[in-house]
Amino acid sequence: MWKWLHPYAKAERAYQLCNTLLPYFAVIAVLGILVGWVWGLAFAPADYQQKDSYRIIFIHVPSAIWSMGAYSSMAIAGLVALVWQIRNAQLAVIAIAPVGAAMTVIALLTGAAWGKPMWGAWWVWDARLTSELILLFLYLGVISLYHAFEDKRAGGKAASILALVGVVNLPIIHFSVEWWNTLHQGATITKFDTSAIDSSMFWPLMINILGFAGFLGAVTLIRLKTEILKSEQHRPWVKALAGGK
């Protein structure tokens, strides 16, 4: 496996891999979000209690899930960067961070717009909401720490360490609805056995989650390509690429 994996530590090979993967993620993103939104907004039935306001779930849950998914991927990349000293993994950390931050902002915004009609408040200092806000600050911390260093390798190292330390926040977000008394409702889809959600709402939600995953992957790949090019900009292969286009 290592023999197969190792060439991707080379920047040019990693760049080619990004190019190969990008179209798949882009197609999943466009199709998933398009189908998911139309289905969720127009064809899924209204909730018996929350009526049409619940339709926010079709973007709130996917963005919240991937705000944490992106953070775990970023932390794994950070671990790889620190343990094996692989420069591309550092670049992956800084490529994911803005996308994860955007996911977190979407989750917070849609949560606020859902909370106002249902709870009567845009924001409450509730465990789930507060820990998600901390997640946003962690993302912003990783981004600014990376850019604070003149030496980008040192910056990448520092950002990776912060990304790893911040992992402690993930279980806090996930279990916050169980550990503390909270306004936020409990898990909806992770308990299949009790089926907290009807299949007429479950499938459009799943498609949206898939679409958001595609979006996260596609934009991360584009940003990773840029980061690879930036760190290799004095190499002949990048010059050839820039000259050719």
Partner 1 sequence: MQFESLSEFFAMGGYAFYVWLSFGSCALIIIALVVSSIQEKRKLLQQVSAQSAREQRIEKAKLAKQQESQS
Which residues are near partner 1 by CB under 8 A? Answer: 33, 37, 41-46, 51-53, 55-56, 59-60, 63, 98-99, 102, 105-106, 109-110, 113-114, 116-117, 215, 218-219, 222-223, 225-226, 229-230, 233, 238-239, 241-243, 245
Nearer CB in complex with partner 1: 113/140: 113
- The pair of structure tokens assigned to 30 is 């466009």
Nearer CB in complex with partner 1: 196/229: 229
Q: How far is the CB of 160 from partner 1 (least distance, A)?
A: 21
Q: How far is the CB of 219 from partner 1 (least distance, A)?
A: 5
Q: How many CB atoms lie within 10 A of CB 57?
A: 23
Using the Cα atoms of residue 188, residue 75, residue 227 and residue 3 in order, give the sign of their dihedral: negative
Nearer CB in complex with partner 1: 144/200: 200
How far from each other are the two terminal CA atoms of the chain, in whole angstroms?
35
- The pair of structure tokens assigned to 170 is 């993930």
Q: How far is the CB of 180 from partner 1 (least distance, A)?
A: 25
Q: How far is the CB of 3 from partner 1 (least distance, A)?
A: 31
Q: How far is it, in rounded angstroms, from Cα 15 to Cα 144?
A: 25
Measured between alpha carbons, how far is residue 10 from residues 15, 18, 65, 77, 78 in Å? 9, 12, 31, 15, 17
Nearer CB in complex with partner 1: 164/208: 208
